[in-house]
A and B are shown apart, each in its own frame.
Chain A
Amino acid sequence: DVKVTQSSRYLVKRTGEKVFLECVQDMDHENMFWYRQDPGLGLRLIYFSYDVKMKEKGDIPEGYSVSREKKERFSLILESASTNQTSMYLCASSLPGQNNEQFFGPGTRLTVL
């Protein structure tokens, strides 16, 4: 079974702090994704990566950056956390191609005070 893990289930940070959210997958997937999930808004794509050191902006990249130094690991970085970044963050991975489902991690609920 594909396993996607995220470093924390719950995280509380203060405004202005630098925040790292880590995601690791164990199925050698090329594609990895970061979403944020907010009530009434569904999932919105922040960034994705289709190969090591490659990244593409999603629909809402502002205030975020990403890093993919190894194939299995995809990090989401909040350079200076703000209260409007309080959200649930979901990581996903998939094989390349159109037919392949994305496998999701358990999510990190981030609260910025």
Chain B
Amino acid sequence: AQTVTQSQPEMSVQEAETVTLSCTYDTSENNYYLFWYKQPPSRQMILVIRQEAYKQQNATENRFSVNFQKAAKSFSLKISDSQLGDTAMYFCAFLAYSGAGSYQLTFGKGTKLSVIP
């Protein structure tokens, strides 16, 4: 079974600064996908960024980028130029095959990020 660990329950960052959220996972699979989801206060969960394990290049989406270290099973999220709208719960998730042609996401416990004006 896969496990996903987010070791920082809460973090804060000054507006316009850079912050890194950590995530580690455990798996015996070689090909898989990793995701970061964002859940703003009282709003829907949305996808921030995804990474395919077979790609060595780190994924980037505007101010969001990942540092994917496959050997270390680490998948951290870097937010540059933090904005007040980045205040949210952030969840790291691992996608694994669960049989019958379907895939199942396993989530970490989340990191609550507060951006301070």
Interface on A for B, CB 8 Å cutoff? 4, 31, 33, 35, 40-45, 48, 50, 54, 56, 58, 90, 92, 96-99, 101-102, 104-107
Contact = CB atoms under 8 A, between A and B. Distances in A.
A105 B43 CA distance: 9
Contacts, number: 57
Contact of A98 (B45, B91, B103): B103
| A-B CB proximity, top 8 nearest | A104-B45, A42-B109, A43-B107, A50-B102, A42-B107, A101-B47, A106-B44, A42-B110
6 contacts: A31-B102, A43-B107, A96-B102, A99-B52, A101-B50, A104-B46
Interface residues of B, number: 29
B108 A42 contact: yes
A96 B101 contact: yes
Interface of B: 6, 9, 32-33, 35, 37, 43-47, 50, 52, 91, 95, 97-110
